[in-house]
Amino acid sequence: MNTRPVLDSDKGPFALSASFNAEGSCFSVALESGFRVFSSKTGDEKLAREVGGGIGCAEMLSTTRYLALVGGGKQPKFPQNKVCPEDSLKWQIISHTDITYEVQIWNDATQQITTSVEFNTPIQRVRVSQTHLIVVLLNNVGIYRMGRPPEKVADYETVNNPFGLCELGKTIVAFPGRAVGQVKLFDLNTHNVSIIPAHESPLRALSLSKDCDMLATASEAGTLIRLWSFPACTKLFELRRGVDPAVILSLAFNPSATTLAVTSDKSTMHIFDLPAAQSTPVPQASEDHKWKLLSKLPLLPRQFSDTYSNCSIKFEMGDEPPSFGPAARSATLQAGIPGVPGGRPTKGLLSWLDDTTVLVVGAGQDARWEKFVVGFDEAGKRAVWREGWRRYLH
């Protein structure tokens, strides 16, 4: 195995959230004082801006100089209705009425706000592309065509969505529907809407393949990951993370959609090899299956025969105070830091550099970047190993 030493051990300021751009080539980090942009390949800082207040969410537009910003943290840069005084550990409501919540489009070439969109309720997350802006509220998703100002295309009610679940692909947007466990898919070209009853319990994670022909979903139970085809919206197969409940932090297809990476709050990343163009998964050989020969016995519970990950590895969640730890298990409650997706610092966020290199990024006081390689070990078995890591803030 190839395990490189730590690249950088300096601790930096407190990171509220992290997000990869659409290509996965960069990740942006929202801070209590501004935002930064880093190279996904190396974890090196590419851009740092102090804006005189907290940014809860920073979404980079492709590889351009534009970012969508939402105020957040203890002293938000843009309007929020909760603040945390410097001499206090408790959030304080500053107003119940006449508060606006803003998404600001920042042009870093001029270091100015080019346009903004206002809302009457808190913003959970934003997604941005060259053509569209998606704004996620607790019970609503707004789809806008990029412009000055952005033009609203569609608006949908959702179940409680405190984690701001929303995936923006090249041609579709995926987000929770109006019923628990339901996924709604909006076609950006035709404006057609499809609905998938994905789970019986609230959704916790979503991911679209690069070509938008496959969707991965996980619920707050955290045991099963389901894969769906698009536009047919039929279930392709199920993958089992484990038997005991866990919080699924992130799902990500590799560029060719042959592998799915999954992270959970157990500090474990699972790698699943996906069968190509099949409606059922390729059976695992008995000697490779988690439960060996028990997987072939007919009357045992399904978890003995389900498809488990081909390999797994530990990643670093980072050391955090209890109040700023991983997001709560429940996908129906709203709490935590205003302006930050899920109300807690991002953990276990996944993206692929290529078909064999996967990244895991986390925010918080112990903000980390980790690079992993998926391949085969000396015995010819599927394996994943860490190639390098660093604390990216300094």
Q: What is the pLDDT of residue 8?
A: 40
CA distance 48 to 30: 10
Q: What is the pLDDT of residue 169?
A: 96
String of b and e for 142-173 (b: at least 16 CB within 10 Å)?
bbbebeeebeebeebebbbbbbbbbbbbebbb
Q: What is the pLDDT of residue 323?
A: 54
Q: What is the pLDDT of residue 202?
A: 97
Residue 250 structure tokens = 């992130």
* Amino acid in the structure at residue 202: P
Residues of the chain with pLDDT under 50: 1-12, 81-89, 91-94, 96, 277-283, 285-286, 289, 291-297, 299-305, 325-328, 331-332
pTM: 0.85
Q: What is the pLDDT of residue 96?
A: 47
Q: What is the pLDDT of residue 325?
A: 43
Choose among 310, 313, 317: nearest CA to 372.
313
* Residue pLDDT, tens place only, 237-268: 899 998 899 999 999 999 999 999 999 999 99
**275 exposed, middle or buried (CB, 10 Å; 0-12, 13-18, 19+)?**
middle
Query: How many C-beta atoms surround the C-beta of residue 369 within 10 A?
Result: 26
CA distance 237 to 243: 17
Q: Which long-range contacts link 228-235 to residues 24+ away (Cβ below 8 Å)?
A: 228/183, 228/196, 228/198, 230/172, 230/185, 230/194, 231/187, 231/194, 233/185, 233/194, 233/195, 233/196, 234/279
CA distance 87 to 85: 5
